[in-house]
Amino acid sequence: MDWTTTTLDAGIPGLVDIYDYDVPLTTMFRNRGAPRFIFNKSEMKVLFTIEVLFFLEKDSGQEPICTVVLNDILLDFDMKIENMWLNIEW
């Protein structure tokens, strides 16, 4: 992903006041806990939580400038077996 402080400022107002405009950012995604899988005959659901950490690219290895936690993301799949293949529709 190509992130800069200017891009992220739309979601976190005032960020460019602290770090200036167009400063490159690095992003790291981490899973929080085990995903939960829900199956039935024709569908599968995956429920999980992740955190997104934003770092200044020039200060890699330092503390993140921001952490966003996305709770209970739900992926829902419709499934059916056709000709011995499992077809999944998002």
Q: Is the dihedral of CA 16, 4, 64, 29 positive or negative?
A: positive
How confident is the model at residue 61, as a pLDDT?
A: 66
Q: What is the mean pLDDT of each run of 10 residues along the chain (90 residues)?
A: 84 90 91 89 88 85 88 87 78
How confident is the model at residue 60, as a pLDDT?
A: 62
- List the domain boundaries for the chain: 3-89
Picking from 12, 82, 75, 73, the residue whose alpha carbon sits closest to that of residue 48 is 73
